[in-house]
Amino acid sequence: MGKCIIFCAGGFDSLYEPIAPEDLVIAADGGLRHTQELGVEPGVILGDFDSLGYVPRGSKVFPCEKDDTDAMLAVRCGLEAGCRKFIIYGGVEGPRLEHTVANFQTLLFLAEQGAGGFLIGQNQIVSVLSPGEMIFPKTAKGYLSVFCLGQDATGVSLEGVKYPMTNGTLTAGFPLGVSNRFLGTEARIRVQSGCLLVIWDRANGLPQVDAENEIYL
């Protein structure tokens, strides 16, 4: 099984990388418009279709009154199909901030399942690191922000960045990790306990991630 590529209804301008034949493509509600513009045939179309405004033929239809967002429904579908790496488009620059926050929590859900998720925005990429390490190459430039997501994140180390940290603690009540910067050397983020929400410039691409000794990139 390849990657799970999910298209949500939010802002979208281009693919980060080509879609491979073995990838599972899921259009979540209004994300179908993005696949249509790309000429991509999704393997699964699902949602409550309040954003799209009509129900496509062959889609999996869910009620508007439900616990899962359409993005979460797509993530569950990908996990059931055996996918471990998730690329999510249209999940950052949407018109509703609450859905962006919900997508941050969806990344956390993926990390708790031992999978890796990435929200690909127009200018930034967002991911969650749960006990493990994230490595950026020396070519990485620009800003890097690291936030505690949930309970205190302990054993946090930041190397190769302007504001380093060694075996520190980040809390959800203070944004100590905002607006760090790459220095032109290999950069590493480690966390021993808890979860980190990591945000960086899209131009830097995807880092290598070793989550609990399982490298999924």
Going from the first residue of the chain to its last (217 residues), give the mean pLDDT of each consecutive group of 10, the final group possibly shorter: 92 93 95 96 94 90 89 96 96 87 95 94 95 96 96 97 98 96 97 97 93 54
Instruction: Provide DSSP, 102-123.
Output: HHHHHHHHHHHTT-EEEEE-SS
Residue 130 DSSP label? -
Q: What number of residues does the chain have?
A: 217
Of 151, 152, 109, 116, nearest to 132 by C-alpha is 116
* Euclidean distance between CA atoms 61 and 14, whole angstroms: 27
Q: What's the confidence (pLDDT) of residue 96?
A: 83
Of 33, 37, 68, nearest to 53 by C-alpha is 33
Rg (C-alpha) for the chain, rounded Å, is: 17
Q: What's the confidence (pLDDT) of residue 213?
A: 46
Give the domains, in start order, of the chain with CATH numbers: 4-122 (3.40.50.10240), 129-215 (3.40.50.10240)
Partners of 132 in the β-ladder:
191, 211
- Give the pTM: 0.93
Helices and strands, counts by H and E, the chain: 3, 16
